[in-house]
Amino acid sequence: MIPAMEQNPAVAPDHPYLRLLEGVEFQPVFIMGDHRSGTTLLYQLLNSTGCFNVVTAYHIIKYDEILANHARGGEQAAKEALGREFAELGLAQRAMDGVEVSPDLPEEYGFRLRDAGPRPFLRPANAASLIELCKKVQRVSNPALPLLLKNPWDFANFMHVNANFPGARFVFLHRDPLHVINSQVKATRALFGDYSVYHGMLDGWYRQLFDQPLRLAVTRWLFSGGFGMASRIATRHVARATRYFLRHVDELAAADYINITYDEVCVHPKASLDAILGFLGLQCEADTAIADMIEPRPIQLEPEIERHRARIRQRLQAYIDYFGFRE
């Protein structure tokens, strides 16, 4: 088990350097999509263009020493040490999706939201913690670049995000909700099955869950395959999130958001990136090696989802029709 890595803010290595955040400005671009809708792939593709600063595994795990390491010229050494730690722990891939683990892996800002708990979405009580994270990353990165951010929990919370970050731009990513539900069920079972050391390094709530056998047993029972609870929980979550999107997206200024589908990204990655970069007014010369990052995977529905696919699609019909998803 990986111990908690929280530090007393007053004695954290970054404490003497927090003054460096004064006057730091950043232009946030939020990838907005539900869990397992393809946001990790899009995050990696956009990061590969070199057009953005991003939050990485290093920033999350070594949060309390980001500024100190940079100011002392030790950032690269700290990343290399974290990489060696990953190797010693046998961390090659993330448990839930097989993505390769490294200190520079783009990660979700939700892991650093203060007192976030199991559902780390932005709210008034933790907005300051996100602003501090953004300023830290921007301070040690290229100040001329926009800051690319991702946290699937805020897909059904984007109006609050918009209120807290005036001028932010939103890249909405959408996927057939039946496939999203299916992938959420599989990922959740993988995450709560065997302890993921990597995820434990990122998420304090997850570490604590595995130290509480009774809660862990109940969680595993809820998401087991024998009772159909996992598909019902995932369907309820996705239905709520998609309703929120349909209800509120027109409240955003048309110039502040773009919609793109997972299928578009997979089938036409370059055109999709060009559309997003054009929307943001960015021009990049970097070789993105796009084709190498796309690994199509056949969709095999879990038995309980296959049994109820007609009912699930009917419940999500408005969203399915909005984007023209077809079986």
- Give the model confidence (pLDDT) of 13-40 as tens digits: 999 999 999 999 999 999 999 999 999 9
Handedness of CA 24, 30, 36, 38 (dihedral sign): negative
Q: Considering the domain boundaries, does residue 317 fall inside one?
A: yes
Q: Give 286's pLDDT tier (boundaries 50, 70, 90).
A: low
Residue bearing tokens 């029709």: 321
The whole-angstrom distance between residue 233's C-alpha and the CA centroid of its chain comes to 20
Distance CA 43, CA 53 (A): 11
Given a cut of 60, whether residue 2 has pLDDT beyond it is no
Q: Are residues 171 and 193 in the same domain?
A: no
Question: Which DSSP helix (H) or strand (E) runs through 275?
Answer: helix 269-280
Distance CA 190, CA 212 (A): 18
Interacting residues of 216 by C-beta distance below 8 A, sequence separation 6+ = 192, 209, 210
- At 172, phi and psi to the nearest 5? -85, 130
Q: Are residues 274 and 285 in the same domain?
A: yes
Domain count, the chain: 2
pLDDT value of residue 185: 93
Is residue 112 within 8 A of residue 60, CB to CB? The reply is yes
Q: Are residues 134 and 276 in the same domain?
A: yes
Q: Are residues 238 and 320 in the same domain?
A: yes
| Per-residue exposure over 94-108, b if at least 16 CB sit within 10 Å of its own CB, e if not | bbbeeeebebebbbb
Token couple for 176: 């057939």
pLDDT value of residue 302: 87
Token couple for 193: 């099955």
Q: Are residues 183 and 246 in the same domain?
A: yes
Q: Are residues 271 and 239 in the same domain?
A: no
Q: Considering the domain boundaries, does residue 69 fall inside one?
A: no
Q: Are residues 164 and 244 in the same domain?
A: no
Instruction: Give the range of the structural domain holding residue 48, as residue numbers without chain letter.
Output: 25-55+106-175+254-296
As a whole-number percent, the residues of the chain with pLDDT over 90 amount to 80
Q: How far is CA 36 from CA 108, 245, 295, in A?
A: 13, 16, 15
Q: Give 288's pLDDT tier (boundaries 50, 70, 90).
A: low
Is residue 195 within 8 A of residue 1, CB to CB? The reply is yes
Q: What is the pLDDT of residues 109-119, one digit of tens each?
A: 999 998 777 88
Is residue 180 within 8 A of residue 315, CB to CB? The reply is no
Q: Are residues 131 and 33 in the same domain?
A: yes
Q: Are residues 283 and 318 in the same domain?
A: no
Widest pairwise Cα distance in the chain: 59
Average pLDDT over residues 245-255: 98
Q: Considering the domain boundaries, does residue 71 fall inside one?
A: no
Pairing of strands 53-54, 147-150: parallel
Residue type at 28 in one-letter notation: P
Token couple for 182: 């299916």
